[in-house]
Amino acid sequence: MCPGVVIVMSWKDVDKGWGDQAKVWASIMEPRWWPEFDAVLRATDVGEATQYLDIACGSGLMVNMASRRGAQAHGLDASDRLLALARRRTPTADIQHGDMNDLPWEEGTFDVATSCRGIWGPNQDAVHEAARVLKPGGCLGLSFFAAGRESNQIGKAFHAIRRVSEHEIEWSQQLGQIGQTGRAEEMCETAGLIPGERQSLEFDLEGADIEHEVKAWMSAGPAWMAIQERGAEDVEHSLRTELAELEEEGIGVRTQVIIEFVVAQKPS
Ligand SMILES: C[S@@+](CC[C@H](N)C(=O)[O-])C[C@H]1O[C@@H](n2cnc3c(N)ncnc32)[C@H](O)[C@@H]1O
Confidence band for 2, pLDDT divided at 50, 70 and 90: very low
Does 217 have pLDDT greater than 60? Answer: yes
- pLDDT score at 150: 66
From 218, 216, 207, select the one nearest 245 (Cα to Cα): 207
DSSP 231: -
- pLDDT score at 6: 47
- CATH architecture under which domain 11-265 falls: 3-Layer(aba) Sandwich (3.40)
Does 5 have pLDDT greater than 60? Answer: no
Instruction: Give the C-alpha separation, 192 to 38, whole Å.
Output: 26
What integer is the mean pLDDT of 58-83? Answer: 98
What integer is the mean pLDDT of 9-33? Answer: 91
Which residues make Cβ contacts (< 8 Å) with residue 182, sequence separation at least 6?
none
CA of 220 to the centre of ligand 1 (A): 10
Instruction: Give the C-alpha separation, 161 to 180, whole Å.
Output: 22
Does 107 have pLDDT greater than 70? Answer: yes
Specify the ligand 1 atom closest to the Cα of 29. Answer: 9
Which residues make Cβ contacts (< 8 Å) with residue 66, sequence separation at least 6?
41, 46, 50, 52, 54, 73
Q: Where in the chain are the domains?
A: 11-265
CA of 246 to the centre of ligand 1 (A): 27
* Residue ID of nearest Cα to ligand 1 atom 17: 78
Confidence band for 176, pLDDT divided at 50, 70 and 90: confident
Ligand 1 pocket by C-beta < 6 Å: which residues? 11, 14, 18, 30, 33, 56-58, 77-79, 82, 99-100, 116-118
Does 229 have pLDDT greater than 60? Answer: yes
CA of 117 to the centre of ligand 1 (A): 7
Confidence band for 113, pLDDT divided at 50, 70 and 90: very high
More confident call, 247 vs 10? 247
Q: Are 139 and 115 in contact (CB under 8 A)?
A: no
The string of pLDDT tens digits covering residues 23-67 is: 999 999 999 999 999 999 999 999 999 999 999 999 999 999 999
In percent, the amount of the chain with pLDDT more than 70 equals: 96
Q: Is 255 helix (H, G, I), strand (E, B) or coil?
A: strand
pTM: 0.95
For the chain, percent helix, then strand, then coil, each to nearest 5? 45, 25, 30
